[in-house]
Chain A
Amino acid sequence: DAMVIQNPRYQVTQFGKPVTLSCSQTLNHNVMYWYQQKSSQAPKLLFHYYDKDFNNEADTPDNFQSRRPNTSFCFLDIRSPGLGDAAMYLCATSRAEPGETQYFGPGTRLLVL
């Protein structure tokens, strides 16, 4: 059974057109993460939620925002996508305990035209 689900798997948007990526989980984990992974690079953490508390990484562009309406769902909003935002976006979840591993979704590949 899928535990971390990301929709859509592929998203095409136009330069400057807002886009929302979604993530849901069936694990009831209290922490959810969003990573950006550009081609042939390592995933890079954008932000995470502990329950409803939002935590932004210092170098995450203002263009990226997130919402977590409940435990199961988390959204990544890109307000004005640029060509440089084309990437794979990975959602992950974990419990907030030392040594806990993260469970990743399959990712959404974003293409900006």
Chain B
Amino acid sequence: SQQGEEDPQALSIQEGENATMNCSYKTSINNLQWYRQNSGRGLVHLILIRSNEREKHSGRLRVTLDTSKKSSSLLITASRAADTASYFCATVLRGTQGAQKLVFGQGTRLTINP
């Protein structure tokens, strides 16, 4: 079963506006990661936030983590047309010998309208 759920499933905003996506998960985590996927392409890692962190920034991205609510949010400020993509949160299950097994949420499809 999916570890995480994301909302909204789809989000359409105007260029320049901020976009916020939310993710909830079920089990304890060591870290939570956000990935972006352009249509028909592979995933690109955006940001990782550890369980002892509450907020993290990277350029126009801001991620928050609330372990008491088992939720995270991704904020993209001053959106651009190039930000149009699907965004996935992923929690990590430890595999054998330290492999990091990602369990993805359902994703949010973000469309930035020019």
Of A4, A42, A99, which contacts B48 at CB under 8 A? A99
The verdict on A20 contacting chain B, using a C-beta distance below 8 Å, is no
The verdict on A109 contacting chain B, using a C-beta distance below 8 Å, is yes
Chain B interfacial residues counted at CB < 8 A: 28
A45 touches B101 (CB 8 A): yes
Task: Convert A95-106 into 0s and 1s, putting 1 for each residue whose CB lies closer than 8 angstroms to a CB of B.
Answer: 011111111111
The verdict on A68 contacting chain B, using a C-beta distance below 8 Å, is no
B98 touches A98 (CB 8 A): yes
B96 touches A53 (CB 8 A): yes
Task: Convert B27-62 into 0s and 1s, putting 1 for each residue whose CB lies closer than 8 angstroms to a CB of A.
Answer: 000110101000011111100101000000000000
Q: Which of A7-62 contact B (CB under 8 A)?
A: 31, 33, 41-45, 48, 50, 53, 55
Question: For the complex, would chain A's binding face be called helix, strand, loop or mixed by DSSP majority?
Answer: strand
Given contacts A42-B106, A55-B95, contact A104 B42 (CB under 8 A): yes
Q: Which B residues touch A103, using CB under 8 A?
A: 45
Residues of B whose CB lies within 8 Å of any CB of A are 2, 30-31, 33, 35, 40-45, 48, 50, 88, 94-107
